[in-house]
């Protein structure tokens, strides 16, 4: 199969991944050398994740979207099985009281990250088959039942943030499919009624929220990361202290190669390059929306739009937390932060975008969409 790769998307993602490898090494080398005597410990693991993720990306780019639709149940059931393994002693891996990972030894994966993609594939197929009928409340309810089992398995890990993300991605895809204003209002209200009490079930979530309102109130506790992140960014100024010269990563920010790597980047490379990083994510969203608009069918359009928003929203939220304008939540900075599962799944998602873009090039867009719009009109008429 000879498929054309979207050159703009490739350039954007390649720049982010390479830049991420550089920043992971810069943020972790000295600390890792002090801890274990191996300064390349984290960069080696991240590089392996990039290799695996690139393989998934290439495979997905070369695979027909019809194949993903055909095996949607396999992805969905496998994700449920993976989430169940998070509760099996001997297989689960607990960190700070949370059992979100599975694996053995030093190799661990977070099934919830794969569950996001599996849910999107499953839901996109359902909405494709019922396109034009999303106003029917029975169709709408069945659509929301698709992410529900995954959310029920993720929430007790505990992982409230990923639970909200899975539900939010599902709601976004259903909105793109044409959910009515009445149903949007109803769904949003139900989400707030259930979500707000659930958010405050755990004391640490309350502390995080209060630290967001006033980090200085608990400067040595829940507000510590935010304050140190501000200091690091202020230290960086416009042009930064130079690559590798961050002080915060050595003495103040715990594990700075993970969620708060944006603060290290701002300190070492400066405000100007932080803006350039944000511009890359904006360009990613632009390209993803372009691919979604040109998709050959409804399934591909729903999937491309939701993947695009997922990556853009995660980047926005991570940097918002680092800047102290959003409440703390352990979300990685896509393609930049250290994290094998996140890197693998983000590259898998990009591979799906490449495949959708390639199929759009193979099929006249107006011809494809006129066919599907006609089918939707017939469904509504019946």
List the domain boundaries for the chain: 7-381
Question: If you average pLDDT over residues 281-285, what whole number do you get?
Answer: 98
Nearest to 226 by CA among 317, 96, 130, 325: 325
Residue 229 near residue 324, CB atoms below 8 Å: yes
Question: If you average pLDDT over residues 76-94, what whole number do you get?
Answer: 92
Lowest mean pLDDT among 183-192, 216-225, 325-334: 216-225
pLDDT (0 to 100) of residue 255: 86
Backbone angles phi, psi at 92, to 5 degrees: -65, 150
Answer whether residue 4 shows pLDDT above 90: no
| Secondary structure E strands in 134-251 | none
Answer whether residue 71 shows pLDDT above 60: yes
| pLDDT tens digit sequence for 75-84 | 999 999 999 9
pLDDT (0 to 100) of residue 364: 47
Question: If you average pLDDT over residues 144-150, what whole number do you get?
Answer: 96
Answer whether residue 335 shows pLDDT above 80: yes
- Dihedral of alpha carbons 348, 308, 332, 47, sign: positive
Question: If you average pLDDT over residues 332-350, what whole number do you get?
Answer: 96
The tokens of 377 are what? 């009109």
pLDDT (0 to 100) of residue 2: 60
pTM confidence score: 0.90
In the chain, what percentage of residues exceed pLDDT 90? 61
CB under 8 A, 24+ apart: contacts of 212-221: 212/324, 212/326, 212/327, 212/328, 215/324
C-alpha separations of 253 from 3, 104, 220, 229, 339 in Å: 44, 28, 12, 8, 17
| pLDDT tens digit sequence for 103-127 | 877 778 999 999 999 999 999 999 9
Give the H or E element holding residue 99: strand 98-104
Question: If you average pLDDT over residues 93-99, what whole number do you get?
Answer: 76
Alpha helices, H only, 65-105: 65-70, 72-85
pLDDT (0 to 100) of residue 137: 86
């Amino acid at each position: 199969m000879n498929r054309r790769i979207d050159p703009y998307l490739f350039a954007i993602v390649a720049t982010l991944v390479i830049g991420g490898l550089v920043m992971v090494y810069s943020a972790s080398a000295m600390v890792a050398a002090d801890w274990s005597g191996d300064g390349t410990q984290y960069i080696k693991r991240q590089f392996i994740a990039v290799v695996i993720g690139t393989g998934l990306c290439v495979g997905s780019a070369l695979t027909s979207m019809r194949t993903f639709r055909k095996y949607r149940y396999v992805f969905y059931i496998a994700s449920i099985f993976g989430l169940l393994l998070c509760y099996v002693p001997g297989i689960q891996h607990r960190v700070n009281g949370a059992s979100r990972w599975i694996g053995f030894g030093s190799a661990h994966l977070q099934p919830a990250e794969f569950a996001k993609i599996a849910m999107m594939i499953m839901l996109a197929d359902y909405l494709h088959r019922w396109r034009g009928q999303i106003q029917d409340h029975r169709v709408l309810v069945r659509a929301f039942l698709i992410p529900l089992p995954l959310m029920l398995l993720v929430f007790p890990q505990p992982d409230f943030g990923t639970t909200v993300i899975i539900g939010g991605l599902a709601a976004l895809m259903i909105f793109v499919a044409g959910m009515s204003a009445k149903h949007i209002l109803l769904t949003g209200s139900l989400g707030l009624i259930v979500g707000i009490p659930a958010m405050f079930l755990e004391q640490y979530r309350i502390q995080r929220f209060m630290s967001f309102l006033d980090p200085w109130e608990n400067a040595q506790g829940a507000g510590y990361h935010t304050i140190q992140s501000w200091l690091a960014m202020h230290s960086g100024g416009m042009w930064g202290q130079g690559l590798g010269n961050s002080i915060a990563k050595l003495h103040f920010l715990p594990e700075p190669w993970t969620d708060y790597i944006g603060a290290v980047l701002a300190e070492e490379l400066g405000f100007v390059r932080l803006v350039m990083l944000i511009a890359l994510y904006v360009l990613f969203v632009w390209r993803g929306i372009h691919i979604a608009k040109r998709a050959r069918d409804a399934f591909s359009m729903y999937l491309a739009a939701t993947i695009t928003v997922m990556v853009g929203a995660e980047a926005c939220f991570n940097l918002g937390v680092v800047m102290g304008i959003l409440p703390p939540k352990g979300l990685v900075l896509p393609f930049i932060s250290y994290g094998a599962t996140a890197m693998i799944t983000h590259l898998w998602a990009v591979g799906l975008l490449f495949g959708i873009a390639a199929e759009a090039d193979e099929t006249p867009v107006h011809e494809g969409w006129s066919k599907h719009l006609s089918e939707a009109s017939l469904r509504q008429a019946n």
